[in-house]
Amino acid sequence: MKKTLAILLSAFLVLPSTGFAGADGKQSNENAAGKQTVKSDKSEWSLVWSDEFNGPEIDRSKWTYDIGNWIVDEDGNGITSGWGNNEKEYYTDSSENAFIADGKLVIKAKKEHVTDQFGTYDYTSAKLKTKGLFSKKYGRYEIKAKLPTGKGLWPAIWMLPEEDKYGTWAASGEIDIVEAWGSKPNKVAGTIHYGEGWPNNKHTGKEFELPKNRGIDKWHTYALEWEPGELRWYVDGELYQTQNKWYSKGTDNAANFSYPAPFDQEFYLVMNLAVGGWFDGEVDETTKFPSQMEVDYVRVYDLKKRDYREAVEPVTGPVILPEDAKQPLEDGNLVYDQNYQKPVTIVDQPGVELDPMYWNFVNLPEFGGAGSLSVGDINGTNFAKTDIVNPGEQLYSLQMIQNISLANGGKYKVSFDAKSTAPRNIMVKAGAGASRGWVKYSNEVSFNLTSELKSYEFTFDMLNETDISSRLEFNLGGNGTNPVWIGNVRVEDITGAPVDVDGPKQPLPDGNHVYNGTFDQGDMDRLMFWNFSIDDAAAAASVSENARELHVAIEDGAENPEAVQLNQQGMYLVKGNDYKVTLKARADEPRTIQASLLNKDGTANYSGIITIELTSNMEEKTFEFTMPEDLTDPEAQIVFNLGDGNGNIYLDDVVLLKTSNIPDYGNIDLYPLKNGDFSNGLSSWGHYVHFDASAQIAPESGEVKMAIASEGNEAWSVLLEQSNLRLAKGVVYELSFAARSTQEREAEVTVENAQYHRYFSEVITLSDQMQQYTHQFKMPVDDAAAFKMLLGKNALSPVGIHDVFIDDVVLKVKDAPSQQEPEPVSVSTPGIDNGTFSEGITDWSAWWGDQWSGYGVGEMTAENEELKVEISQVGGAAYAPQVYQKGLLFENGASYTVEFDARADVPRKMNVNIGKELSNDPWFINYVPVQTVDLTSEMQTYSFTFIMNEETFDDGKIVFELGNILGGNAATNVFLDNVSITKN
């Protein structure tokens, strides 16, 4: 039975049907009993708790009830219906749904209407549980029961943790002693749920086939024997499954909780009869109501003749695939045809089988996705490009899939290169097909793609049974129409590969720089990420399962505090910031220990030596320090000196937090927007008035005034913008400005890239009073963006003749040091920045067209210190696409020489334009006639000279046009280098 209570944060929980069957419809289990029947030895066990159901009514000292159909929060607000499983019943505590009859518990599902504050339900039933009344860790749990048959009936006897010690479902675990499908009267199953909180939960289990003439509607004894590190399932005394591989990981953990978590805590019992839900689907006309499950007894035992077994951590070692599996290639890759040389199988109609060896492109019409896959070259490597016409509503509406073989117990790394034309997400996972119920083997991992080709990877442990028909899925649907390129796909067996526990560590999601500060993660010694050392001393460090705190037993601490030392390395400390360390500590006898924050080799001490007084009581200790103003250390270490004394020392809950927020942004521009107070007029600013609008834009009294006679028909018909703002991935920016309008109206404020992808968008209402507006946004990628204020058509149009005033526009890194906005730097001749492209594409921009010029398709990147313009489609005009640089100073009467190197993979023409950009027709004033050059596959140097006859202008523009030029418009790769403009 799926978890229903401890998932309040999972408001949109959708749980898949539990999957057990293998490729042949039955799943093997190498740890389960074979064909030889193994019986349980009940003489080892002693009864500690039971309910024989011999009384006149249900014993409320042993059982309580869940009520309703919805998971609710602590205030009674609905979170999700159907108990997170799409169940259709309403659970009651009525004696009509749960009662004692003939010495047996009866749970009855009835067809009747019930209404509550959330809705109306067609069925009632009951769910009994021992939460708060009885729970236990380990033991034998035995239930004699008779279960109902009928499509959509879901009887279950299961267990949940008394406390969610490891996080929300299923990180804290679930044990299903027995579940049954009403539509499969001769089959039951036992399952465990574990892993991370939904949706990154996992489950493994096995089915048991009952005799044909003795199905679930006959009396059977179902039992679970639970010992540290092992669970065993029995039906009528016959062992049919043993499980000992699982894990648990918390949201803020750096590693898994130490084995055997989560199955090392007290669990309580649950018994219920569900109607409908994911497990057995909906009821149909053959389902009979009322239907009931009966329980003769529930008995819980403890071992009496021997101790519980010691948990043995699962051994990671080489895994071996069956002979009939797809074996890894010579380079270890489990993915075949990495370079897409084989035909890709198109699965666009129901019934089309996947190619079991090579790539498949799946876009079934029932999921609403539509697109195509082609193969093309990027930097000498074939990539699969998915063009998306309709993304559909689901991530799986469009998929690239290859079947791979995964072995039980293996650890695997998935890696690939990918890009798009603009920021977008894809989801990648490894899992089973339909025959195994679509079980997830890995997490569903989301990746944020950009227009830059990047490498991505993730790892997972294969805890399910060996599957030689696993699916590696790239889920490309449900997320816009931007195309996706995928290449260099690898899946490798990395079982047993070491983890660099001393390497650089980013802070955990909760901000803590200390990994495993709670001493409950990693191997069973629970000391992962910590280093313990002694020097001429006698001491040992350990963590017990029960206490889960560090215990340092010191027999001889020498006479030096550093003789016994604990440290953790790889902490990222940022210059100029304040930090706070907290920990809990005690000792048998009052004494002191030392703590410090050092650099990697211990030669620099950032905190000084902190002396900490210990008593026999576990007390919280704190100290603070500040990093030097000029030094960021990505590999610092925290050190505890425990020597110079004997006895026992205990540490726990070690936390290191950054308490200030002074960023070290390296070369990131803290104030990317220039001249925001318009003290230099409209320098650095651009504006645009579409033909359907009428407006005049000019500086006035230290503000910019936009005199608007007509807003036009589009939001962007009138706009003010500043482009080429270099924004950095992961940085939080603060945007502020003041604005007013002589007539009330709305304006739309955006930060967007050249492809109009918006990183920030907000509609504001302007009045005749100057108001200050402040917003924040976080950049998901590195990109050149533009700030735009759209003053065209809005919700209050037509506004009539009015004026809009804007001032004090600031775009800065959040919490950047307070300072006056930098004054614009005068651009000196020749003015070309980064003409050698040694800084990538910094200072260069690309434009790919619009509805009037037609759209080009491609990408601008830097490669080998050359500018590369990868064009897959040209627009309808010569100037779509184009690459350009603005902010160039051209002085009246001066002579300039323009020089650059250029080539193209396929011969074509290129226009070079130099001039002044305008916001209305004719849009551009040329300082020199258009220069057209013929590009070949050889890099050649081109140059020309001109005299500036127009007025001096400090925001001139050089444009390289690569669109539809008569006589040479090939869509190909064009390369530029060594661009310069020299004043003669």
Please compute, for residue 141, the number of CA atoms within 13 A of its CA located in the half-sphere on the CB side: 24
CA–CA dist 363, 309 (Å, integer)? 51
CA–CA dist 184, 215 (Å, integer)? 9
Give all strands (DSSP E) within 67-182, no chain letters: 71-72, 78-80, 89-91, 98-101, 104-116, 119-125, 127-129, 139-146, 153-161, 174-180
DSSP assignment letter at 505: B
Beta bridge partners of 459: 413
Q: What SS3 class is residue 436?
A: helix
Please compute, for residue 959, the number of CA atoms within 13 A of its CA located in the half-sphere on the CB side: 26
C-beta separation of 421 from 451 below 8 A: yes
CA–CA dist 854, 651 (Å, integer)? 67
CA–CA dist 372, 352 (Å, integer)? 16
Could you tell me the CA-to-CA distances from 749 to 340, 717, 821 in Å, in that order?
44, 14, 20
CA–CA dist 626, 799 (Å, integer)? 55
Could you tell me the CA-to-CA distances from 689 to 111, 711, 715, 718, 801 in Å, in that order?
66, 9, 11, 5, 15
Neighbours of 693 (CB within 10 A): 22
C-beta separation of 707 from 718 below 8 A: no
Q: What SS3 class is residue 397?
A: helix
Question: Which pair of tokens denotes residue 166?
Answer: 């490891």
- Those residues whose C-beta lies under 8 Å from the C-beta of residue 370, and which sit 6 or more positions away, are 363, 388, 389, 390, 392
Nearest to 519 by CA among 542, 489, 488: 542
Q: Is 174 a catalytic residue?
A: yes
Q: Which helix (H) or strand (E) holds 400?
A: strand 399-406
Nearest to 193 by CA among 253, 140, 270, 292: 270
Nearest to 639 by CA among 664, 615, 613, 603: 603
The letter for the amino acid at 198 is W
Q: Which listed residue (179, 294, 870, 961) is catalytic?
A: 179
CA–CA dist 109, 152 (Å, integer)? 11
- Those residues whose C-beta lies under 8 Å from the C-beta of residue 372, and which sit 6 or more positions away, are 386, 387, 389
C-beta separation of 511 from 579 below 8 A: no
C-beta separation of 915 from 925 below 8 A: yes
Which residue intervals of 147-235 are DSSP H helices? none
Please compute, for residue 605, the number of CA atoms within 13 A of its CA located in the half-sphere on the CB side: 9
Question: Which pair of tokens denotes residue 295?
Answer: 């329980």
Strands 411-420 and 454-461 turn out to be antiparallel
Q: Is 492 a catalytic residue?
A: no
Nearest to 85 by CA among 164, 196, 193: 193
Strands 866-873 and 973-983 turn out to be antiparallel
CA–CA dist 375, 354 (Å, integer)? 19
Q: Which listed residue (174, 207, 746, 748) is catalytic?
A: 174
Question: Which pair of tokens denotes residue 373?
Answer: 């896959």
Q: What SS3 class is residue 83?
A: helix
C-beta separation of 471 from 430 below 8 A: yes
Rg (CA), the chain: 34
Strands 369-378 and 139-146 turn out to be unpaired
Q: What SS3 class is residue 43?
A: helix
Q: Is the peptide bond before 262 cis (omega within 30 degrees of 0)?
A: yes
Active site residues: 174, 179
